[in-house]
Structure formats: C-alpha cells, structure tokens
Structure 1
Amino acid sequence: MEIVVKFDRTPRAEHQLWQELCAGLPAGTPEPAGSRPRPGTLGVATARSGDGALLGWAPVFTGQEPKAATVEWLLVTRERERIVHGSVADPDGTGDEEAALVALFRAAADAARAAGFRALDWLDRGDTGAELDARAAAELEASVHRELGRKWGVSALARWQRPGGMPAVRTRRAPGGTGWQGLELLTADGRTAARIAAVVAGPEVYVEKVGHHGVDAPELGSLVADFVEQVREDHPSVESFQVREQDDEVLGAALKSAKLRISHRWWQYRLTL
C-alpha cells in the first residue's frame, strides 16, 4: 500500500481531520467531540493512501520532560469502527495499519527532531491498540520508557471466591444513572472515603477508576470485593470484572488482596532521536 505522509502546522489541522473522519460515518451516527487544541502543539502528521484517502494522523506536542516531545495517534478505520460499534473487532491490527502507524511515527520523529527534541514518547493504546504500539516500537527500535499502569481482573466471575480474613467495612450504594452501578466506602462518621463504579452493560464490567483518599489497602480491597459480589448478585450474566489501575500502589495492593490478577500492562514508549 502506498502511503503519503506530510506534517501540517496550521492551527486547525486536527479539527479539519476530525471533520473528514466524521464525514465517512454511517448516516445517523452521532459525531464524536473530537479533540481540543493542546498547548505546545508542533503540528500534526497525516497519512493518506495513494488515492488520497485519509488513513490516520498523529499530533505532536511538548511533553512533560523538556527534551522529549509526545505523539498521539489515530487510525481512521479503527476510530470509525470504535465510534459506530463501541469497540474494535481486531485490536491487534493489520499489516497496512502497522505500516501507516510507523509512517506517522517517522514523520512525528522528524518534526520533533527539527524542533530540537531528543526523544519522542507515546503511550500504548491499551485494549484498542497495544499490539500495534508494540510492533511499531519494535520496527522503529523504540524502547519501553516506563510502566504506566495495569488492568486487573477476574475472567470467570462465577468461580471467583472472596478471600478469607478481609476486614469488615461500612459501604453504601453510590447514586447511579442509566447502566451505572457503584459502591462507596464510608468512614466512621459517614463520609465517603473511596468509591468504585462502572457501567454494567454486556458480559464484561470495566472499572475505569477507583477514587480513594486516606484509605489503607486492606479496607480498599474489601470495597472491591464487596463490589464484585454486588455486581455478580445483581447481574448474573456478567462473565468478567476488570479494573484499571494507573501507577496506584495502594489500589494495586487492594486489587491483589481481593484476588484480582493482572491481565494487561500499559507502557510508555520512547524513541531516541
């Protein structure tokens, strides 16, 4: 597949690319919000096929470290599929998608190098593109810079058993909306010390974040176990329970104490320029 790449520095470049992506959605599909302009943006690498069809793009912007730029990526066919169906059927990606992604990263690296940066960082896309990220990193000889977080879970919820010896805690159901379900951990005076919640729709429950403040891992683990039991009792058809943990030592210890296991790790990759 022929891939034509360019780097666009015009201020509204990404907004126009989102409009082009949305124009290819099926009629009646709600349009996504797109992305907001980022401070420190250098520009956007774009990839098109030989006949001009948009394949994807990758904005490049200043990162948290002064000598490293950051790039994020989006491939059009995958993003349209995610918008329409809620997920990507082939998270590992195709050879053509890998080629487009590598081409975007090369263009992003050239722009970052020209701007005086010594490295280019990106975060893997987790369940929707981690394998693509890994293959692109290998092709470019990029390395894992640091581990960002983990996904913990129970793959066979019906067989999960609450561990013995967990401390008793005081909880209450969190206010919920359509499809939402949550549980709060309370202090002795009734204040909320931690909260876990998720959308329950389909065979998998995925908790994006567990909020907590001043809670020890054993008590937080009891909250997680209570919530697993609540979900299993309320929704017998749910098959798996997953929690995202982003470099949170207390939450990680709590999830381990509740007998959840790591099923995926998220990485930050770094390409030395």
Structure 2
Amino acid sequence: MPADVISLREAQLSIEDGIAEFTHTRPERRNPLSLDLRADYIEMLDRVESDRSVRALIITGSGGSFCAGGDLRSLQERLQSDDPEINSPDAMRRRLMAGHAWFERLRNLEMPVIAAVDGPAAGAGMSIALAADFILASTRASFSMSFVKVGLLPDMAAFHTLPRIVGMAVAKDLMLTARRIGADEAERLGIVHSLHDAADLPAQARRFARRFAGASRAALAMTKRLLHKSFETPYAAMAELEANGQAVASATPEHVAAVRRFLAGEPSSFDWDREAAA
C-alpha cells in the first residue's frame, strides 16, 4: 500500500504499513518549535490517535537538524508587544499550559514513539526527544538543555522526564550548565537507545518501528501508562492498577491468539529477538 502523505504547516506526516512518520520541515531554521509546528503536532496526534492501523510513530527532523528548540523570533515579538494578552507572565503561563495539553498526549500516545535524532536537539527539541519511548540518534546528533542560555527554565516536561532517565545529579549538570553533549555521551547516559550513521538513520528507525507491528496495541498502551505512573504511585495502588490492566489484556483477541499459537507450536506474532536477527 502506498504511503499516505499529509503536508502540514511546518511538518509532514506520512503513514505506511502501520508506521506513522512525523517530520519537521523547516531545516533552514533548524526546525524550531514554532506556533505553526505546535499546531502541526496537534493535527498529527488527532490523526494518529484515531487511526487504529498505526502501530508506531517516528518523530524526526530534516536537513540535518532534529529541532533547535523554541522559536526565539516569536519570543522576541512577544517581548516587543504592548498587549498584555501577549506579553505578560500570565500569557506565557497560558502558552505553556496549552503546550502541555498536546505534549502530554504525545508522551502518553498508546503506541511506541521513536525519536530519530540527526543533528541538534536543543531546548524544547531535546524535551520532545525525551518524550519518546526510544531515541535513535545519528553519530552527529547532539543534545542540549539550552534554556538557561537565554534566561529561561527548561520546559516541555523536561523537569519530569530528564531526572527519571539520567538521575538527579546528571539532570542538574545538563540543566544548570546547558552544555551540549554529543551522541556518544547521550548513549552512555541512557538517553539514546542506539547510534547509527546519519545516512542510515531513517531506514534504521523504520526497521525498529516495524518490529512492533505484531505486538498487542492494548498491551503496549497499558504497559506505557503504568510505567509513567510507577515513580509516583504507592505499591498497593500500583498493584491494583496492574491487576486491572492484566484483566483487560487477558480478554483481548491478541492474547487469545498468542496462547493458541503457543499451544499449537506456532511462532509468536511478536518476537523482538527474532525480528532483530532477521
């Protein structure tokens, strides 16, 4: 089946063989997280969430850049405005909260999300990458919590995601220094899942995403949701959530079919190790 390609404002969404790929398409400005790109994320999420055929989402950039972070031109226009609905602390608060409305949808998307990072992922660009379940990076990728360089705090959920991935001490290092780290260091810190040549990264990301095609969408979705709750949830509450989720998963057609195949000596529809060796 040919790919379904949708051109948005500053991004492109393609869906092919159950894999959605969302690409930032403003490489001449290093793909900043502009207001238009934020609107594109909302439209992409609407489409991907409603399409039950989609099994995984890839987020990537174009032109050797993932995302340079917030659009400083837009921020400058805000600072120069005399309108309190645009240039006031409350206006900034509302802008950020509106961003969290779609960002939480991205983080909790009921399928694996893969960030394919080539070139810089800075500021909010790094925050977007951290919201993915897996980061595949090119050897020339770089990451930076660059916010304090422009006198701002990290945002787009970075205070939540980064310490959980690298620990508090390293999160303080990256946030307070705003230093840039290369792909090798990001892999050592556990931020990056795997490294690839820049030319090979798109194909590797698609191959990685396709390995989820045979998995139970319901099981993956509930596993993600429980993992996201695990750091803040007491044991007893977590045990109840686990039991409730397992009750639902055990009644899905995917579980029934998997048990039948196992007892019949047939190969599983989802076998990560088998797919890796293929």
- Higher RCO, 1 or 2 (CA under 8 Å, sep at least 6)? 1
Q: Which has the higher helix share?
A: 2
**TM-score for both structures, normalised by structure 1:** 0.29
